[in-house]
Amino acid sequence: MTQTSRRDFLKLSGGTLGAAMLPFLKAIPAHAASGEVLVAVTGQTINSLDLHRTGTNRASYQVAVNCYDRLVSFGTKPAPGGGLSYDYSVIEPELAESWTISDDGLTMTFKLKPDATFWDGSKVTAADVKWSFDRAVSVGGFPTVQMKAGGLQRPEQFVAVDAETFVIRLDRPSKLTLPDLAVPVPFIINSAVAKANATEADPWAMEYLHTTPAGSGAYKVAAWQQGQQLVYERNDAWVGGPLPAYKRVVLREVPSPATRRALIERGDVQMSFNIPNKDAAELSAKEGVTVYSTPIENCIHCLCPNTAFEPFRDANVRKALAYAIPYEAIFQTAAYGRGAPMWGGPAEIADTAWPRRSPYMTDMAKAKEHMAASGFASGFEVPLSISLGLADWMEPTALLLQESFGELGIRTEIEKIPGANWRTAALVEKRLPLHLENFGGWLNTPDYYFFWAYKEGHLFNSSNYRNEEVERLVDESLHMAMDDPAYAPKIKRLFEIAFEDLPRIPLWQPALNVAMNGAAGYEFWFHRQLDVRPLEKATS
């Protein structure tokens, strides 16, 4: 066996292999028919197999998606820009077989699939669901915040009626509760295994589940070398959805985008997840490589003038900024045209679609008019802050903004803030006078976006914006059903105020780029992580 080309290798039988390699390699030749193993590369690192743990990074959320089940999941629809996307408007069963919601909207009753089992063969029961939900609302940090968004806050709300019946009691009816059960956070853990590995100091088995998942999901973790690779192996007894095509998925971490690009172009890997816009634009012209650029739902790259600072209290200054932005140049330079434009929309707001184009466009004459009408006609100086962690789009954007604002007499100095300090400076302390920001909401409703980004004191309202009417409209619409006749007028009014007051000036809707070579079936998810379950070999 001198040839170690991967394809040849996978076809070989286990007999020729060295004894030291057996535990891992034995498994590959067993399903060695080519097309049973997918190799994907990503630049991000997975730092935990437990989403609930403090310090778990975003890239690790995919383990919750691929290895665990939730009660429900979202449907599938064709995505803008090709490929598939999850469908926020359709809720599908995953571990729950069916569910009912009481007339007052306060009690949700879930029937679990009777044949659902964990990887160790034990049955998935309502007690497991309760334990998992109790954990999510108790451990604090991000999972608890996300659960709260759906009105899930206290363990008393969750009742295991019998082995297959699980009940959630809500304080108030909310359209966000059911979708919030389909986000990665409320995943269902094998509570017997977890409890057996819990200690008094660690009642939720955080240490154990950090490295050893115990779920019922479509894939098990066959190997995890942190900083190097994660190997998924299919769970053939999965009942949460159609059985995945690949028996094994190897996810390698390759930090350098240039290396990832060489790998996908050569076809040695079948998928490169989350590639830079530039590579996406160039790779899409290559034979054999398919690139999916899906605009990220409910996410907008914005310029935020902070209303806590004097020049930006003046509405004319904010409008002058909005008219001075070279939108098209930024979209082409910083995003390579990937994503969706968010400028030059109609003045009239006819529907509740979000994100939507703002009525502003590049118009220096208008910008100068507004500037002259403001109290700062002679211009001013202000730092324009960007995050080094997001420099790939923020830096070119900031340079173009700097040039344009200079024409208005707004002299900006670009302040680059290290990634670790960015959150604190921009979102927690909200102390950046003029900065770029890119909030995206997991739950795809406009009111949810406004809740996080336009309400005073909320994390992503980095402009310190406060408007009494916005506060009231968001509170009223947040839990209201979207088909309620009162809903649309409230949302339209919110849009009007947002575009009039401009605490966030929309630039463009970013895209998530994925390149495939030899594989198909990619599906975009709002969590922007790799769902390996629907992937299959490309038919060519």
Partner 1 sequence: MVSDRAKMILGRMAQALPVVAGVVVISFLLTRALPGDPAAYFAGPAASEASIAEVREALGLDKPLVQQFFLYVGDLAQGNLGTAISTGQPVAADLASRLPASLELTLVALLLSCAVAIPLGVLAATRPGTWVDHLCRVLVTAGVSMPTFFTGIVLIYVFYYLLGVAPSPLGRLDFIYLPPPTVTGFHLIDAALAGDWETWFGALKQLVLPAVTLALFTLAPIARMTRAAMLQALSSDFIRTARAAGLGRGKVLYGYALRNALLPVITTLGMVFSFTLGANVLVEKVFAWPGIGSYAVEALVVSDYAAVQGFVLAMALLFVLLNLVIDIAYALIDPRIGFS
With tokens 């082995």, the residue in question is 163
- Of positions 421, 472, 486, 489, contacts partner 1 by CB under 8 A: 421
What one-letter code names the amino acid at 259?
T
The nearest distance, CB 509 to partner 1, in angstroms, is 18
State which residue, 15 or 121, has the beta carbon closest to partner 1: 15
State which residue, 33 or 262, has the beta carbon closest to partner 1: 262
The nearest distance, CB 68 to partner 1, in angstroms, is 17
The nearest distance, CB 69 to partner 1, in angstroms, is 22
User: How far is the C-alpha of 270 from the C-alpha of 257, rounded, in Å?
Assistant: 15
User: How far is the C-alpha of 439 from the C-alpha of 449, rounded, in Å?
Assistant: 8
Which residues in the 254-313 window bind partner 1 by CB under 8 A?
254-256, 258-259, 262-263, 265-266, 268-269
Q: Which stretch binds partner 1 (CB under 8 A): 75-83, 237-245, 251-259, 516-524?
A: 251-259
CA-based R_g, the chain, Å: 25
User: Side by side, which strands form the sheet with 219-225?
Assistant: 219-225, 229-234, 248-253, 37-42, 271-273, 511-516, 290-295
User: How far is the C-alpha of 257 from the C-alpha of 272, rounded, in Å?
Assistant: 10
User: How far is the C-alpha of 66 from the C-alpha of 93, rounded, in Å?
Assistant: 16
Number of residues counted as binding partner 1 (CB under 8 A): 64
Binding mask 137-156 for partner 1 (x = CB under 8 A): ---xxx-xxx--x-------
- Of positions 196, 243, 420, 481, contacts partner 1 by CB under 8 A: 420
- Of positions 20, 201, 285, 365, contacts partner 1 by CB under 8 A: 20
State which residue, 145 or 161, has the beta carbon closest to partner 1: 145
CA dihedral 180→183→185→189, nearest 10 degrees, is: 100
The nearest distance, CB 367 to partner 1, in angstroms, is 33
Q: Which stretch binds partner 1 (CB under 8 A): 223-231, 359-367, 392-400, 495-503?
A: 223-231
Nearest Cα neighbor of 316 from 380, 365, 370, 376 is 370
State which residue, 26 or 172, has the beta carbon closest to partner 1: 26
State which residue, 54 or 98, has the beta carbon closest to partner 1: 54
The nearest distance, CB 266 to partner 1, in angstroms, is 6
- Of positions 24, 30, 82, 486, contacts partner 1 by CB under 8 A: 24
Q: Is 25 in the site for partner 1 (CB under 8 A)?
A: yes
User: How far is the C-alpha of 42 from the C-alpha of 264, rounded, in Å?
Assistant: 11
Check if the beta carbon of residue 215 is closer than 8 Å to that of residue 194: no
Which residues in the 480-509 window bind partner 1 by CB under 8 A?
none
CA dihedral 49→50→54→58, nearest 10 degrees, is: 60
In this structure, the number of other CB atoms found within 10 A of the CB of residue 419 comes to 11
Beta-carbon contacts of 204 under 8 Å, excluding residues fewer than 6 positions away, are 52, 135, 138, 139, 194, 198
- Cis omega (within 30 of 0) on the bond before 355? yes
Q: Which stretch binds partner 1 (CB under 8 A): 91-99, 247-255, 322-330, 517-525?
A: 247-255
User: How far is the C-alpha of 428 from the C-alpha of 353, rounded, in Å?
Assistant: 29
The nearest distance, CB 195 to partner 1, in angstroms, is 20
- Catalog residues that contact partner 1 under the rule CB under 8 A: 1, 4, 6, 9-10, 17-18, 20-21, 23-25, 28, 39, 41, 45, 47-48, 53-58, 140-142, 144-146, 149, 210-211, 225-229, 231, 250, 252-256, 258-259, 262-263, 265-266, 268-269, 389, 418-421, 423-424, 427-428, 452, 459
